[in-house]
Amino acid sequence: MARIIYSIVQHDGGWAYKAADAYSESFPSREMALAAARVAAAEQQVGGDDEEISFQDEQGNWHFEHADGGDRPEATVEDG
């Protein structure tokens, strides 16, 4: 199972949550960023419907796959 970690960090004159190299919008307080990160982590774990997906790769080849809507990552928030 994949794992996503949201970290609370200072960013752009305020506070934000960060996952990998992506930052959220800035919040005026650490507590607001922490609350938003907890919401994002909870939403990340909500399953959906199974879907048939298609995408084109860099070489122009099309790929067709079945995506399991219940295959969700574990999401956690680190405030430290």
Average pLDDT over all residues of the chain: 93
Nearest to 63 by CA among 72, 52, 71: 52
Overall number of domains in the chain: 1
So what's the pLDDT on residue 21?
93
Task: Quote the domain boundaries for residue 30.
Answer: 4-65
CA distance 12 to 71: 34
φ, ψ of residue 41 in degrees (nearest 5): -65, -40
The model's pTM is: 0.71
Residue 79 lies in a domain: no
Residue 21 lies in a domain: yes
Residue 75 lies in a domain: no
Residue 60 lies in a domain: yes
